Chain A
């Protein structure tokens, strides 16, 4: 579904990514791991379109998405969350969810002014979906609360269900369980598995190896902006190079 070939990216003088390649198959859960500073989030930024790559190719569903802006990639079904959850402080949890929901009529001026019934119909449907998703992560009691008042872990959960509102096919999760308590983490992972059964694909950055082992089919390891290893969670956990990279101080 997503193919990256030889991605290179530098900032000024320093090289962030060098010849990184990976492949994410449809309906899979793929992991992306590596010590701090290995370039994982930079790679996410390139996939989602926030940074432009210097060299290499990105293909999503067979289409070269190089020239597409982040919003166009999102509209094509490629969504992501952020390492530091972005939750507009002055918008409520429900507003956050509805922001992510698709309402093409409601988001146009003519639609708002002239197509009332269609707009409110879509809005009602999005509202139902939003509440359903919030119940999933036990946030529904905070629906009308300002997102700025949520704890770090709650913001992570919000980010997860919010991205699900976009009807994305491929979902990039940047450290989804950081700051989330173990029982909720279990729920979260179950949700991801359920969604995979419904046909969604995931690419997950994680530091928590238990999470990776629990749900990932395949894992890529990055170190210093380069591919270090790839394979099943079991394989890479026993890989000498991976152990060395993590132990050599940067992790």
Chain B
């Protein structure tokens, strides 16, 4: 029973962290129409920034979190600059390339954390302190952390929902649907895209920071393009038109992912093979959803005004 509760708490925390990634990617693609194939870069930058601030500058967790938000937000802004003159598929490819370059930098540069106990580089950085861990027993701590991630997930959900339902969100939707028209109606498309990418990038950094402090360890292998694929599966299956869909997708995919990991003790297939089959199913799920259930599990709701 204890083990099950522990597992479920772990699953919940991971789901919530991925939920933040799904919500932010959905804001970019589902609402604004920006197909970002390098979303993992915000996760990575948030995690590493938070880690460096905690371990090198010995900051407190709130400061590290703030640093993660700022750095990810800046990169969100940078990535958005080419969107005004690049077609969407070209931009998607460039985001993929960009995320890989950043990952390579973290892979190669082990001076970033200054050697010693924290080997850095390809080996990753360990020993990341968890916030307020001395206040709780090791048995109770996961529940505390679950409360922390739940708080941030809720806050980010409410924030993005508010933005989606506002005139700002409406402008983004207009840009997604008819960019030329929106421009002709006075919406500065480039600026809106920059704002959308900056804020969603910044919020995705929160996920990175929470992840780093939870796992206690970050390494370049945790931020492979695989992560981006999984988040895409979440928003496609959940439904790109809605924030609730993104959360549902995160839950569905994460449960599927983790339950099969749990299954490995019961099915006589090697762990690696099982992991691969898992990903095959995810790939197939993306295809099937696009072919047969384009709207995903949760459709975009019609905005009804009381007359």
Contacts and interface: CB of A to CB of B under 8 A. Distances in A.
Given A89-B177, A90-B177, A95 B168 contact: no
B185 interface: yes
A112 B186 contact: no
Contacts of B153: none
Interface string B164-208: 001110110110011011111111110010010001000000000
A106 B177 contact: no
B168 A107 contact: yes
A112 B163 contact: yes
B305 A112 contact: no
B100 interface: no
Interface string A149-166: 000000000000011001
B186 A102 contact: yes
Contacts of A146: 302
Interface string A30-73: 00000000000000000010100000000000000000011110
B166 A119 contact: yes
Contacts of B159: 113
Interface in A74-106: 74-75, 79-80, 82, 86-92, 94-95, 98-100, 102-103, 106
Interface residues of A, number: 43
Given A89-B177, A109-B199, A103 B185 contact: no
B5 interface: no
Nearest to A122: B167
B185 A72 contact: no
Interface in B276-307: 300, 302-305, 307
Given A106-B167, A109-B168, A109-B195, A88 B173 contact: yes
Contacts of A163: 185
A245 interface: no
Contacts of A228: none
A127 interface: yes
A144 B188 contact: no
A98 B189 contact: no
A143 interface: yes
B104 interface: no
B162 interface: yes
Nearest to A141: B307
29 contacts: A50-B180, A69-B183, A69-B188, A70-B183, A71-B183, A71-B186, A72-B188, A75-B186, A79-B184, A79-B186, A80-B184, A82-B181, A86-B181, A88-B174, A91-B303, A98-B170, A99-B170, A99-B173, A99-B182, A99-B187, A100-B186, A107-B171, A107-B187, A109-B163, A109-B168, A112-B162, A112-B167, A144-B302, A146-B302
Interface of B: 159, 162-163, 166-168, 170-171, 173-174, 177-178, 180-189, 192, 195, 199, 241, 300, 302-305, 307
